[in-house]
Structure 1
Amino acid sequence: MALKVGDTIPEFSLPDQNGDIFSIKDFLGKKPFVLFFYPKNNTSGCTKEACDFRDSYENFTSKGVEVIGISADSVKSHQKFREKHRLPFVLLSDARNEVRKLFKVKNSLLLLPGRETYVVDDTGKVIMVFNSISASEHMKRALKAVSN
C-alpha cells in the first residue's frame, strides 16, 4: 500500500546530480520539503513538471520548503538536465528504484515509472500525496499544500 497522509516517510540516501550522497535525514526535523518522483529526464511531461517547480521555486523557498526531484536517470543525466533547464533544486538518482519502492510509487500506463508528489512536514510526516501521470498539476497541488 502506498504512503498516505499522516505516514512517516522512510529514510533514504541517494546520489545527487553531482554524485554527492544526499541523505533525507539532513532535512528531517529541520524543514518541510516537496519530493516529486518523475519518470524520465528530457521527456515532454517531465520537463514541464521540473520547469513548473523551477518557475515557482521561490514560492516554496520563501515558505522554508525545499524541492527535491527523483528519477531513475543517472547522475550524469541529472546533471545535464539540471543545467539545460536551469533547475535550482536537487535531483536524485534512484537508478535501482530502491526509494521508489520504499515509497511504493507504482508504475503508470505502459509500465512507465509513476509520477507522484509528496509534501512532507519538518517532522517527516506526509501532509499531501498526489499521483497522476499528467505533469501539469503536481507543482500547483504541492504549492497549495505548503500554503495552507
Structure 2
Amino acid sequence: MAVVVGDKIPFFTSIDSKGNHFEIKDYIGQPLVIYFYPKDDTPGCTAQACTFRDQYEVFKDFGAEIIGISSDSILSHQKFVSKYNLPFILLSDFDKKIRNAFGVSRDYLGLIDGRTTYIVDANGIVRYIFDSTSSRKHIEVALSILKKI
C-alpha cells in the first residue's frame, strides 16, 4: 500500500554514502525532502542531484534535510557524491525495501525505478508527493511546499 499525503512516513534504516548506519527516526523533528531516483550518474538523475546540491543552502534555511534514495550500491553512491560534490544524504536501497515501503511506482512501462519526491513535515507526516520524470521540477515543487509548512 502506497504512502499518501497525511500518512506518517514508514520507519526505515539503510547505509548512507559514507558507510554509516542510517535510521529515519533520527531525522524526525525537522522537515525532510525524501526523493527516490532511478540511478546514479545518469543524465536525469545527475541533473536532479546537482540541482538539489545547488539549492541545498536554501533547503537548509527552511531547516530541511534532503535524502536521496536509489537501489545503487554504497560504492556507486560514494563515487556519485564525490564526482558531483553532493552535500546531502544518499541512501542505498539495494533490496528496494524502502521504495516498496513507500509504494514508489516504476516508470517507463515498469522497466525503470520511479522518480518520486516526498515533502515531510517535522512530525514525520507527508505533506506533499510529487511523481514526475521531470528531474528538475522536483526541486521547484519541494521548495514551494516547504515555504507553506
Q: Does 1:116 align with 2:120?
A: no
Partner of 1:33: 32
In structure 2, what is the Cα distance between the partners aligned to 1:118 and 1:13? 17
In structure 1, what is the Cα distance between the partners aligned to 2:43 and 2:119? 23
In structure 2, what is the Cα distance between the partners aligned to 1:143 and 1:50? 15
Partner of 1:146: 146
Write the letter of the residue equivalent to 2:61: S
What displacement does 1:2 show? 2.3
In structure 1, what is the Cα distance between the partners aligned to 2:101 and 2:23? 14
In structure 1, what is the Cα distance between the partners aligned to 2:31 and 2:26? 11
RMSD: 0.8
Write the letter of the residue equivalent to 2:57: E
What displacement does 1:63 show? 1.0
CA shift digits 1:8-27 (9 cap, x unpaired): 11000000001111100001
Write the letter of the residue equivalent to 1:143: L
Partner of 1:69: 68
SS at match of 2:9: coil
In structure 1, what is the Cα distance between the partners aligned to 2:137 and 2:95? 27
Unaligned segments of structure 1, at least 5 residues: none
Runs (4+) of structure 1 moved beyond 2 Å? none
Partner of 1:42: 41
Partner of 1:91: 90
In structure 2, what is the Cα distance between the partners aligned to 1:77 and 1:125? 30
SS at match of 1:77: helix
Identity of aligned residues (%): 49
What displacement does 1:118 show? 0.3
Partner of 1:82: 81
Write the letter of the residue equivalent to 2:134: S
In structure 2, what is the Cα distance between the partners aligned to 1:136 and 1:82? 18
Q: How does 1:3-22 map to 2 (within 5 A)?
A: 3-22=3-22
SS at match of 1:135: coil
* TM-score, with structure 2 as normaliser: 0.96
* TM-score, with structure 1 as normaliser: 0.97
What displacement does 1:86 show? 0.6
Write the letter of the residue equivalent to 1:114: G
What displacement does 1:133 show? 1.5
Unaligned segments of structure 2, at least 5 residues: none
